[in-house]
Structure 1
Amino acid sequence: MKSKAFLESADVKTIVAAAEAEALKNNWAVTIAVVDDGGHLLHLHRLDGAPAISAHIAPAKAHTAAMGRRESKIYEDTINGGRTSFLSAPLLSGMLEGGVPVMKDGHCIGAVGVSGVKSTEDVQIARAGLAAIGL
């Protein structure tokens, strides 16, 4: 039997705090979502002024990144590249840039999804959160 890493509550709090700090530093109103390796929501934080729809999009991006074990942008690029049939992929609804998997020792242990500003800025916020836990 093998052991595997997982996101602890303290990790989630650290990720969210660092992501929030990055967003606030840039005056970006976003929603930040953290999920476990199965795409289940661990934390959702909607900053003041973030669009209401971002509270649905951020968890979807995180879920997609966790389930696919890759950044959600890969799916967006695939679809934009002409493979529109990928829109029918089961269980993946956040196929937009802004979902980043949490990888530890080559394994996905969760994901962060951010929504509310430009997609490249969403990713910047998510990565700031991951950097805070050394990943």
Structure 2
Amino acid sequence: MRRLLLACVLSLAVALPAFAAADVSKLQLPGDLTLAQAQKVVDGALEFAKKQGVPMNITVVDAGGNLKAFCRMDGAFLGSIDVSMKKAKTARLFNMSSAQLGAASQPGKELFGIEVTNDGLVIFGGGELLKDKNGVIVGAIGVSGGSVQEDTNVAKAGVAALNK
């Protein structure tokens, strides 16, 4: 058993440096959000949030809906961390803003009740899609901490920053 464990440890010791030296561009999926792009989105949203004077939680997810970047401004509500993450994920999962999904999920509408699926969705404004210059969805942003309109404004500022 000890020999097997030693062999595994030695294999990892040899493999890890080779993996670390791998060309990162070959590990990224085409059409996915880069870290540099995600940072541009956060920076644009953060700048607008500061002008607005409302502390925000800003979440950016990649094309697969996975966390790519996050920022919690000083004083932003703790409860809004989860809301910002779910707004971003909601937008990406359904390829529309969280507000658009909310409009389609009102009582009597076709998607009524959808917010309880997928481990919880957020169906009010503040979640927006991120698209590249060719219109391909590369991720989403979710913002929470102010009114729905303030959240939406900050999210749209993040989208605009990506497209500059």
After TM superposition, the score normalised by the length of structure 1 is 0.88
Is 1:22 aligned to residue 48 of structure 2? yes
Of stretches 82-91 and 108-117 in structure 1, the one that deviates more from structure 2 is: 82-91
**Residue number among 136, 143, 152 corresponding to 1:107 in the alignment:** 136
Shift of the alpha carbon at 1:80? 2.7
Structure 2 residues not aligned, in runs of 5+: 1-28
**Runs of 4+ residues deviating >6 angstroms:** none
Q: Which amino acid aligns with 2:130?
A: V
Paired residues, number: 133
For CA contacts below 8 A with separation 6 or more, give which structure has more relative contact order. Answer: 1
Which residue identity does 1:118 align to in structure 2? Answer: S
SS in 2 for 1:80: coil
Amino acid at match of 2:122: G
Where does residue 157 of structure 2 map in the other structure?
Answer: 128
Rg larger in structure: 2
**What's the CA shift string for 1:57-114, capped at 9, x where partnerless?**
0010000101111101112112334343333433552222110011232321100000
Distance 2:106 2:91 in 1: 17
Please give the alpha-carbon distance, in whole angstroms, between the structure 2 residues aligned to 1:82 and 1:50: 35
Structure with bigger helix share is: 2
Aligned residue number for residue 69 of structure 2: 43
- Give the whole-Å Cα distance in 1 for the aligned partners of 2:69 and 2:139: 11
For structure 1, the 5+ residue unaligned runs are none
The one-letter code matched in structure 2 to 1:21 is E
Q: For the Cα contact (< 8 Å) 1:7–1:110, is it kept in 2?
A: yes
Task: Determine the C-alpha separation between the residues in 2 that align with 1:55 and 1:85.
Answer: 23
2:87 corresponds to which residue?
Answer: 61
RMSD (Å) for aligned C-alpha atoms: 1.8
Matched, 1:12 2:41: no
Take 1:8 and 1:95, find their aligned partners in 2: how far apart are those partners? Answer: 26
2:114–2:121 contact (8 Å) kept in structure 1: no
Of Structure 1 and Structure 2, the greater strand share is in 1
Once the two structures are TM-superposed, the CA of residue 120 in structure 1 deviates from its matched residue by 1.5
Is the 2:129–2:159 contact (alpha carbons within 8 Å) kept by the matching residues of 1?
A: no
The equivalent position to 2:96 in structure 1, one of 39, 55, 70, is 70
